[in-house]
Amino acid sequence: MHTQVAILGAGPAGLFLSHLLHLQGIDSIVIESRSREYVEGRLRAGVLEKGTVDALVESGVGERLLREGLRHKGINFRFGGRTAPLDIRGLSGDKHVTVYGQQEVVKDLIAARLAAGGKILFNVEAKEIIGVESASPKIRIVSEGSEQEISCELVAGCDGFHGISRPSIPADILKVYDRVYPFSWLGILAEAPPITDVVTNVYHQERGFALLSMRSRSLSRLYIQVPNEEKLEDWPDERIWDELDRRLEGKDELKLIRGPILQKGITPMRSFVAEPMSYRRLFLAGDAAHIVPPTGAKGMNMAIADIRVLAPAMTEFFKNKSTRLLDAYSDTCLRRVWKVERFSWSVCSMTHNFPEDTPFDRRMRSATLDYLTSSAASGLTFAENFVGLPLEESLLGDDERDARITMLKDQ
């Protein structure tokens, strides 16, 4: 088999790249080790930045997103037994985020690719990337027990943290920056109506973090901070509900509506960045290149942002025979990636208890949340990051950025 772009991974990054390339008349094949049912059913983040929504809608795959997505104009922080709202829309210049599950984005993209005759190879394992230093890389795959090769001109590694793409970059070139946090999230999907109409971050000084979110008007997505060594079998449904209620204790009553728990799992927390995000004819995107803790809800948004840079670069390569944008891809993305990593790390640090904390540390954490929700300046900074940094900001040179800062100060 031959294609112009071989794409490893049928997550949001790989599917969106294939979709955007198709709109430009560029052929691609998406290689996915899991089944279509598995890919469309796995639950991931569901908070979309405005830029992510705009990109999906403008590319023609946003009809259901606009119809079913829940727009959030704010966010709540609960600490010290009280709930403090943050007016995201007012602070960010009338912008908002949209709650729409990652699995729904994946369903929409798969439907669009298949309707257009796109090639998605499900249940096919990519074993090796060969010859990325050459003009004709190959992907060695195993399909129904037999080995085959796919030849291409460019390779997009969108196959996640555990995929083969990132290890295909020579070890003496690849640098990784990693932080593993000393806690995890125990998350549930419950058939229960949300008790708030916006995402609510909860900080309890003694018990730690909790998150109240939703997937629809009848489904709640809820999380609690737990130690890394916790086992799921030690958390029966009633214990989870009881712990959530304890973390919501306070002056203003906030009582969850309990319902059947449909899914539950424990997710470790880490921050991770790989540099560079490209090597010769191989380009990393999404979780293959970077991981953020789910605080801030940036994972899928970062993947889509990568593709918003990579798709035009690949288009210029095929249409104009130019590598200018491809050569700049890694640096362009990493500048934004590190800003988003900083935001996710900061939200994690100010809402979670750490084993080494002293009582002073926990009081300072509450003071930080109090300042965030009572200061317009602090709220503005959070809102700007929460709705999503504009993609073009990451493309500015130092002189142009300094000039823009000066202009804002003069206004």
DSSP of 114-182, one letter per residue?
Answer: HHTT-EEETTEEEEEEE-TTSSS-EEEEEETTEEEEEE-SEEEE-S-TTSSTGGGS-TTT-EEEEEEEE
Note the pLDDT of residue 408.
35
Peptide bond into 193 cis (omega under 30): no
What global pTM score does this model have? 0.90
C-alpha distances (whole Å) from 293 to each of 185, 269, 344, 369 are 10, 5, 6, 19
Q: Where are the domains of the chain?
A: 5-46+101-174+276-352, 180-269
Three-state SS sequence of 231-280: CHHHCCHHHHHHHHHHHCCCCCCCCCCCCCEEEEEEEEEEEEEEECCEEC
Structure tokens belonging to residue 320: 């104009």
Return the ∠ at Cα 79 (arms to 292 and 71), rounded to 5°. 60
Note the pLDDT of residue 196.
85
| Spatial contact of 107 and 40, defined as CB atoms under 8 Å apart | yes
Give pLDDT tens digits along the chain (411 positions). 999 999 999 999 999 999 999 999 999 999 999 999 999 988 776 889 999 999 999 999 999 999 999 888 899 999 999 999 999 999 998 998 998 889 999 999 999 999 999 999 999 999 999 999 999 999 999 998 899 999 999 999 999 999 999 999 999 999 999 999 999 999 999 999 998 888 899 999 999 999 998 878 898 999 999 999 999 999 999 999 999 999 999 888 788 999 999 999 999 999 999 999 999 999 999 999 999 998 888 999 999 999 999 999 999 999 999 999 999 999 999 999 999 999 999 999 999 999 999 999 999 999 999 999 999 999 999 999 999 998 754 444 444 444 333 433 343
28/19 Cα distance (integer angstroms): 9
Note the pLDDT of residue 297.
87
Class of domain 180-269: alpha beta
Class of domain 5-46+101-174+276-352: alpha beta
